[in-house]
C-alpha cells in the first residue's frame, strides 16, 4: 500500500505506514466486514487529508515524532477556557495570549466552539456543523490564525471532538427527521418504544434530572431516537461505517486547522448494544485504536485525549497496551474526585490509596491532572476501599455534597448540587476551586484567618496537581481564585444546568488585581507562579521520575515522594484543619524548595491546609 507516500519519505517510514494501514484495515474489517466501498472511501479521506495537511504542520509532526514525549515534559502547563467567557471571540483570545503566557501556560484547551444551536447546545457539546465556528466566536480562519500564532509561541491547542452525537440541527439529523433512510441509519431510530424500553432496562442515565431517559420521540420522523445526553443530542451509530468515515474526515479537518490535541468527548459511549450498559464496550476500544492509527498516518504529531469519566477500573484500558496504544492521555478523574473527597473528610487514606495505584502504572501512561474543569464533580470513588472503614456509598455521597455545598456545620465551601437523583442518592457537585475551598465565604465574612486557610488549601491542591507526573491543567479563572457565578440562575437558557456556576466570565479587573500587592488574586496568582517555576527548574518533576507514597504518620497529611537523577522530593499536604507536625521517614537532609530553609526530618511543621515541597540532592 503505497498511496500515502510523501515526497522524501524514507523506506523505513513507508514500511511503518504500510503496517499501520494494514492494522487499520484489519480492525475496520472486524467492525464492518468486507465492505470494500466503505474502506475505499476511508482511504480516500485519509489521502485527501494527507495531501491537504499544511507544510508547517507536517514540520511540527516531524519535530514531535523526534520528541514523542513532548507533552509529558515538565515545562508543559495547560489551561482550559471558554472562548466567550475568556475573551469574547477567537480574535479576543489571540489578543490575550500574553496573559495566557504570563500564567506560564503553553497548552490551551479551547472549549467547544463549533456551531451549536443557542439554548440547545449543552455548552457547545451539541454540534450542528463540525466545520463551522459559532458565528459569535469567529470563523474557521480565525481558528487557523489562532493556532498558527499559538504554535509560533510554542503553545499547543486542544479542541473537543464531540463524536458520540450530533445536534438535532446537524444536516444528517435534519435529513433523518425528514425521513431519509440513509441518514436515519446514522443514528439509532426505532419505530416504537419496544426496543428503547429494552435498552432502558440496562442503560443508566447520564442526566437523570436535567434530561431523564436515553431516548426521545421525534414527531417529524414519527420514530424514537437514541439521546443518551440531552434530547437534542442524537447518538451516532458507529456500527455504520459511513459514520466512522465522515466523523474521521471531520476530525482530520480540525487537525489540519492546527489542532494538536483532539479531546475525544464522551468516548466510552460510542458503541451501543442491547442488553449492555452501552459504556466501554470492546468495540469502543477498536474504534479508538482506529482513530489513533488514522492520526499516525495523516497527522502523527496529533494527540488523542480521552474523556473517560468512569469508575477507576474502566479508565486505564483506554491507554491501550504499550504495543497498541489507544489514547495518548486520559483525565485523572478518580484522583480529582478523591482530592475533593479529601478536602471534605480531611482524611488522606483514600487519596493515598488512589495515588498508590496511579504510581504503580507504567510511566508511559500520561494523565492529564486537574482539580476542576467545566463539568461537575461526580463521586466515582473507590467505594470497595472505603467500605474497609465502614463508609457506604450513598450516605458518603450525601456527606461530601453537604460539606462542599456548605450545608455541613462549619464548612466554608460553597458549591451547588448537580443532577440530584433522590432515587439513587446520587447528586454530583459544581463550584469553582476557590469557592469550594472557602475563599468566597471567607471574603464575604471578612474572616482573615479563614481566608488564609482557604487560600492555602487552594494553593495546596494546585501544588498537588503540579507534583504528579503528567500534564497539569488550570481551569481558567482558578489562577485568580475566581468565585462561583450565581448569575446563571437568572438566565433561562442556563438555569437548569448548575455547571454554569463555574463557567462564569473571566473577570479582567480581577486579573489586573493580580498585580496589586495584598489582593486575594495577587496572593494566589504569584504563589502559583512560584510553584510552576520550581517545577520547571527541578528535574525531579520529570515524568520519568519514580514516584511513591511517603509515610507521614498522620492520616491528615498526604506525602508523595519523587526521585529522578539525583534529586529527591518529598511533598507534604496537610488536609487537616489544624496546624501539626509530622516526621518523614527518609534519609538525607532536606531543604524547603520555596523558602530555601533546611528542615528537621523529625519535626516538620505544617499550618492548616499547607503544603511543602522538600528537596534533597544525592
Ligand atoms: C462530556 C462533556 C460534557 C457534555 C457531555 C456530552 O462529558 O465534558 O460537558 O455534557 O460530554 O457531550
Q: What average pLDDT does this structure show over 596-615?
A: 96
| Whole-angstrom distance, CA of residue 299 vs CA of residue 72 | 19
pLDDT band at 8; cut points 50, 70, 90: low
Residues 6+ apart with CB under 8 A from 292: 304, 320, 325, 326, 327
Q: What average pLDDT does this structure show over 229-256?
A: 98
Q: Is 307 a catalytic residue?
A: yes
Cβ-based neighbour number of residue 225 at 10 Å: 22
Ligand 1 centroid from CA 125, angstroms = 6
| 285: Cα within 13 Å, side-chain hemisphere | 13
| Whole-angstrom distance, CA of residue 550 vs CA of residue 548 | 6
Nearest to 299 by CA among 248, 340, 373, 349: 248
- Torsion sign across C-alpha atoms 472, 473, 479, 484: negative
54, pLDDT greater than 50: yes
Mutation test of ligand 1: which of 123, 165, 266, 308 has the most ligand atoms closer than 8 Å to its C-beta?
Answer: 266
Residues 6+ apart with CB under 8 A from 211: 227, 229, 230, 231
- Whether residue 289 contacts residue 320, with contact meaning beta carbons closer than 8 Å, is answered with yes
231, pLDDT greater than 60: yes
The secondary element (H helix, E strand) that includes residue 558 is strand 557-564
| Whole-angstrom distance, CA of residue 410 vs CA of residue 295 | 51
Q: What average pLDDT does this structure show over 431-447?
A: 98
Q: What average pLDDT does this structure show over 410-420?
A: 96
- Measured from the CB, is residue 375 less than 6 Å from ligand 1? yes
Average pLDDT, the chain: 96
Q: Percentage of the chain with pLDDT > 90?
A: 93
Q: Which pLDDT tens digit goes with each residue over 344-353?
A: 999 999 999 9
Q: Is 198 a catalytic residue?
A: no
63, pLDDT greater than 80: yes
Which of 115, 242, 265, 610 is an active site residue?
A: 265
**418: left (phi > 0), else alpha (psi -120 to 50), else beta?**
beta
pLDDT band at 313; cut points 50, 70, 90: confident
Q: Which pLDDT tens digit goes with each residue over 535-564?
A: 999 999 999 999 999 999 999 999 999 999
What are φ and ψ of residue 6, in 5° steps? -105, 150
Nearest to 511 by CA among 482, 474, 475, 532: 482
- Torsion sign across C-alpha atoms 453, 454, 460, 463: negative
526, pLDDT greater than 70: yes
Mutation test of ligand 1: which of 375, 430, 497, 501 has the most ligand atoms closer than 8 Å to its C-beta?
Answer: 375
| Whole-angstrom distance, CA of residue 210 vs CA of residue 207 | 5
3, pLDDT greater than 70: no
Q: Which pLDDT tens digit goes with each residue over 455-513?
A: 999 999 999 999 999 999 999 999 999 999 999 999 999 999 999 999 999 999 999 99
5, pLDDT greater than 60: no
Look at residue 423 in the predicted model and tell me its pLDDT: 82
3-state class (DSSP) for residue 285: helix
- Measured from the CB, is residue 266 less than 6 Å from ligand 1? yes
Which atom of ligand 1 is nearest the CA belonging to 207?
Answer: 10
| Whole-angstrom distance, CA of residue 402 vs CA of residue 390 | 19
Q: Percentage of the chain with pLDDT > 70?
A: 99
2, pLDDT greater than 80: no
pLDDT band at 9; cut points 50, 70, 90: low
| Whole-angstrom distance, CA of residue 140 vs CA of residue 482 | 30
Look at residue 7 in the predicted model and tell me its pLDDT: 52
Q: What average pLDDT does this structure show over 61-78?
A: 96
576, pLDDT greater than 90: yes
Lowest mean pLDDT among 8-22, 79-93, 398-412, 425-439: 8-22
1, pLDDT greater than 50: no
Nearest to 84 by CA among 120, 55, 116: 116
Amino acid at each position: 500500500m503505497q498511496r500515502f507516500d510523501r515526497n522524501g519519505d524514507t523506506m523505513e517510514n513507508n514500511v511503518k505506514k504500510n503496517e499501520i494501514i494494514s492494522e487499520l484495515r484489519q480492525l475496520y474489517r472486524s467492525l464492518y466486514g468486507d465492505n470494500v466501498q466503505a474502506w475505499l472511501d476511508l482511504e480516500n479521506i485519509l489521502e485527501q487529508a494527507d495531501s491537504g495537511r499544511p507544510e508547517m504542520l507536517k514540520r511540527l509532526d516531524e519535530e514531535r515524532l523526534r520528541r514523542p514525549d513532548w507533552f509529558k515534559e515538565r515545562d508543559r502547563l495547560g489551561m482550559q477556557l471558554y472562548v466567550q467567557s475568556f475573551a469574547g471571540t477567537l480574535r479576543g483570545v489571540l489578543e490575550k495570549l500574553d496573559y495566557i503566557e504570563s500564567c506560564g501556560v503553553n497548552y490551551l484547551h479551547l472549549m467547544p466552539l463549533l456551531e451549536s444551536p443557542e439554548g440547545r447546545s449543552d455548552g457547545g457539546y451539541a454540534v450542528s456543523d463540525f466545520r463551522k465556528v459559532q458565528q459569535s466566536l469567529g470563523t474557521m480562519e480565525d481558528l487557523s490564525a489562532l493556532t498558527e500564532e499559538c504554535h509560533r509561541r510554542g503553545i499547543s491547542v486542544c479542541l473537543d471532538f464531540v463524536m458520540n452525537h450530533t445536534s438535532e440541527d446537524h444536516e444528517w439529523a435534519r435529513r433523518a427527521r425528514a425521513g431519509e433512510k440513509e441518514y436515519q441509519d446514522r443514528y439509532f431510530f426505532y419505530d416504537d418504544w419496544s426496543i428503547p424500553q429494552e435498552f432502558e432496562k440496562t442503560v443508566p442515565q447520564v442526566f437523570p434530572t436535567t434530561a431523564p431517559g436515553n431516548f426521545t420521540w421525534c414527531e417529524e420522523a414519527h420514530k424514537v431516537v437514541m439521546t443518551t445526553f440531552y434530547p437534542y443530542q442524537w447518538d451516532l451509530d458507529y456500527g455504520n461505517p459511513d459514520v466512522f468515515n465522515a466523523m474521521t474526515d471531520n476530525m482530520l479537518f480540525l487537525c489540519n486547522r492546527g489542532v494538536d490535541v483532539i479531546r475525544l468527548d464522551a468516548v466510552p459511549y460510542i458503541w451501543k448494544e442491547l442488553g449492555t450498559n452501552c459504556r466501554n464496550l470492546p468495540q469502543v476500544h477498536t474504534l479508538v485504536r482506529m482513530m489513533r492509527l488514522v492520526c499516525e498516518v495523516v497527522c502523527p504529531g496529533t494527540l488523542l485525549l480521552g474523556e473517560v469519566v468512569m469508575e477507576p477500573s474502566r479508565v486505564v484500558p483506554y491507554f491501550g497496551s504499550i504495543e497498541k496504544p489507544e489514547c495518548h492521555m486520559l483525565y485523572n478523574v478518580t484522583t480529582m474526585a478523591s482530592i475533593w473527597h479529601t478536602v471534605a473528610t480531611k482524611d488522606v487514606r483514600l487519596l493515598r490509596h488512589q495515588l498508590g495505584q496511579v504510581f504503580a502504572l507504567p510511566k508511559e501512561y500520561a494523565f492529564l491532572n486537574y482539580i476542576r474543569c467545566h463539568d461537575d464533580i461526580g463521586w466515582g470513588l473507590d467505594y470497595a476501599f472505603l467500605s474497609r472503614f465502614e463508609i457506604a456509598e450513598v450516605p458518603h455521597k450525601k456527606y461530601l455534597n453537604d460539606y462542599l455545598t456548605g450545608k455541613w456545620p462549619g464548612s466554608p465551601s460553597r458549591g451547588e448540587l448537580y443532577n440530584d437523583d433522590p432515587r439513587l442518592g446520587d447528586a454530583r457537585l459544581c463550584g469553582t476551586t476557590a469557592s469550594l475551598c472557602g475563599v468566597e465565604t471567607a471574603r464575604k465574612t471578612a474572616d482573615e484567618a479563614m481566608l488564609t486557610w482557604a487560600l492555602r488549601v487552594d494553593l495546596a491542591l494546585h501544588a498537588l496537581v503540579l507534583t504528579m507526573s503528567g500534564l497539569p491543567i488550570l481551569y481558567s479563572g482558578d489562577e485568580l481564585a475566581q468565585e462561583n457565578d450565581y448569575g446563571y440562575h437568572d438566565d433561562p437558557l442556563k438555569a437548569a444546568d448548575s455547571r454554569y456556576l463555574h463557567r462564569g466570565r473571566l473577570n479582567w479587573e480581577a486579573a489586573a488585581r493580580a498585580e496589586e500587592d495584598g489582593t486575594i488574586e495577587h496572593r494566589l496568582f504569584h504563589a502559583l507562579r512560584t510553584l510552576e517555576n520550581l517545577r520547571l527548574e527541578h528535574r525531579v518533576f520529570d515524568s520519568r521520575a519514580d514516584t511513591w507514597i511517603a509515610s507521614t504518620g498522620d492520616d491528615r497529611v498526604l506525602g508523595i515522594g519523587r526521585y529522578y537523577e539525583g534529586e529527591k522530593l518529598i511533598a507534604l499536604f496537610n488536609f487537616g484543619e489544624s496546624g501539626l507536625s509530622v516526621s518523614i521517614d527518609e534519609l538525607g537532609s532536606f531543604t524547603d524548595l520555596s523558602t530555601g530553609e533546611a528542615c528537621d526530618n523529625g519535626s516538620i511543621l505544617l499550618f492548616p491546609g499547607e503544603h511543602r515541597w522538600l528537596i534533597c540532592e544525592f
